[in-house]
Structure 1
Amino acid sequence: MTVKNADRDAIVHGKITEKPLRQRPSFPTWAIKLTMAVTGLIFGLYVLVHMVGNLKLYMPAHDGVPALDEYGTFLRSLGTPIFPGETVLWIFRIVLLVSLVLHVYGAFALTARGRQSRGKFRRTNLVGGLGALSARTMLISGLILLLFIIFHILDMTLGVAPAASEAFEHGAVHANMIASFSRWPVAIFYILANLVLFLHLSHGIWLAVSDLGITGRRWRQILLVVAYLVPAIVVIGNIVMPLSVAVGWVS
């Protein structure tokens, strides 16, 4: 242990030390937590908007063009003619990529600092329930979601086999989604990944509420509901799509 007024004999015999338990970090813990809160909320907003946009899978085609393809064209042409081509879309992608890197770094940094501070001691007698499960598995669920993001990009954006189907065609968003989700292993993987997303996102939003300094009782009660409601809406919407395609309800 570290003390201010140390017994000289105790120091000599190695009982206690005046040295800090760990060196002062380059980035303070509060800054990393704040960064993770902000980047986590960015991802939360993104998956909500992404889910709403993908639900155009169920809208009728317009002049023979699927609604989902029109939505894809809208995203690629966003900001034109002020900005050329896919400029705005790439700005969004860069923001998401930077947020992802910062979020992953923060997760590993905070985990390492927590283990170093606790030493050989571990937290015990934690309250059970869904919240405790989410808290215990945040790093694991985060890694699963990272793998899912990579697979999703290879499948739906880049069209890289074997993640993507053989029928992948750039720009044909509707057809690509149907072809991908028609493969049962892929549909099941998407469904399971979204269940993991619910655990990670619900606990992540609640942590962000605390890390952003929201302490009012009423606001915390409201945001606790939001922390479970928004992820539930996102996950239900994301699960319905691969399931409905896999069973043949949408083609």
Structure 2
Amino acid sequence: MTVKFDDRDAVAHGKITEKPLRERPSVPTWALKLTMAVTGVIFGLFVLVHMIGNLKIFMPAHDGVHHIDEYAEFLRTMLMPLFPYGGVLWIFRIVLLICLVLHVYGAFAIKARAAQSRGKFKRTGMMGGLNTFTTRSMLVTGVVLLAFIIFHILDLTIGATPIASDTFAHGAAYANLVASFSRPAVAIFYIIAMVVLFLHLSHGIWTAVSDLGITGKRWRAVLLFIAYLVPAAVMVGNSLIPLSIMLGILS
């Protein structure tokens, strides 16, 4: 950023400067925002599909087999024998991990550049309300979600102690969910994380609409509706699982 002014005396006396407030970055800010928009859309699609798969826990078992266990096995056997057992699932995991690293790096890089460019001057004149709250808390909600992702993987994917339940067993998706959410603290943390996800994802999708250059009035109206509908559906759908287990509906 360069400040320009035609008063040479003011420049000479140091009242204003033509020096850049920060060095030119190796990766332009527009590229970081575009990367965050694309990776954010990928995460939005992932959590939606993941939620739909998780809701299979409410389907009645047949021949003693739960539908969610069949779904978990389907993910591991997908496209066999073209891919080895679990191969496609690991491709998904690697892609999501790369997206996560890029998304987190972009968030902190843009935040640091904005603070450096503004210097001691803070943003003013914001209108208030939910949109302003989500805007200002994006970094905080992002950190909370990152902590939740790590906890979720240790709890229901890896089964690491002492995070996971004592009865964790690989491949037993139904039993692992019931055992994990039978612990009230874990169930409440999961529900809180879903509320945080709603705040972060709703604002993130709407920001991605602008960063991806979608400017049509009708398209923006439709996508603004989607920006709240999808995160709300994910929040409600995923929260029903720990609530149902805590209330004894699922056991």
TM-score range, shorter chain: over 0.9
Query: CA separation in 2, counterparts of 1:84 and 1:198?
Result: 35
Partner of 2:54: 54
**1:214-225, aligned counterparts within 5 Å?**
214-225=214-225
Structure 2 counterpart SS, 1:62: coil
Query: CA separation in 2, counterparts of 1:155 and 1:6?
Result: 63
* Identity in percent: 66
> Which deviations, in whole Å up to 9, do the C-alpha atoms of 1:214-244 show, x marking residues without a partner?
0000110110000000100010001000010
Q: Which ranges of structure 2 fall in alignment gaps of 5 or more residues?
A: none
**1:90-239, aligned counterparts within 5 Å?**
90-239=90-239
TM-score (norm 1): 0.97
- Do 1:214 and 1:220's aligned partners in 2 also have CA atoms closer than 8 Å? yes
Query: CA separation in 1, counterparts of 2:39 and 2:7?
Result: 43
User: Aligned-pair distance for 1:211?
Assistant: 0.3
Structure 2 counterpart SS, 1:64: coil
User: Aligned-pair distance for 1:16?
Assistant: 2.3
> Which deviations, in whole Å up to 9, do the C-alpha atoms of 1:178-219 show, x marking residues without a partner?
000000000000000000000000000000000000000011
> Which deviations, in whole Å up to 9, do the C-alpha atoms of 1:137-194 show, x marking residues without a partner?
0000000000000000000000012211001011101000000000000000000000
TM-score (norm 2): 0.97
RMSD: 1.2
Query: CA separation in 2, counterparts of 1:189 and 1:89?
Result: 26
Cα 1:128/1:4, change in 2 over 3 Å: closer
> Which deviations, in whole Å up to 9, do the C-alpha atoms of 1:30-61 show, x marking residues without a partner?
10000000000000000000000000101122
User: Aligned-pair distance for 1:5?
Assistant: 4.3
> What amino acid does structure 2 have at the position aligned with 1:219?
W
Structure 2 counterpart SS, 1:63: coil
> What amino acid does structure 2 have at the position aligned with 1:91?
I
Structure 1 counterpart SS, 2:21: coil
User: Aligned-pair distance for 1:11?
Assistant: 3.6
> Which deviations, in whole Å up to 9, do the C-alpha atoms of 1:72-117 show, x marking residues without a partner?
1000111101111111111100000000000000000010111111
> Which deviations, in whole Å up to 9, do the C-alpha atoms of 1:115-143 show, x marking residues without a partner?
11111111123112111111110000000
* 1:2 has 2:3 as partner: yes
Partner of 2:242: 242
Query: CA separation in 2, counterparts of 1:218 and 1:10?
Result: 48
Structure 2 counterpart SS, 1:91: helix
User: Aligned-pair distance for 1:12?
Assistant: 3.7
Query: CA separation in 2, counterparts of 1:165 and 1:6?
Result: 69
> What amino acid does structure 1 have at the position aligned with 2:3?
T
Partner of 2:66: 66
Structure 1 counterpart SS, 2:40: helix
User: Aligned-pair distance for 1:2?
Assistant: 2.4
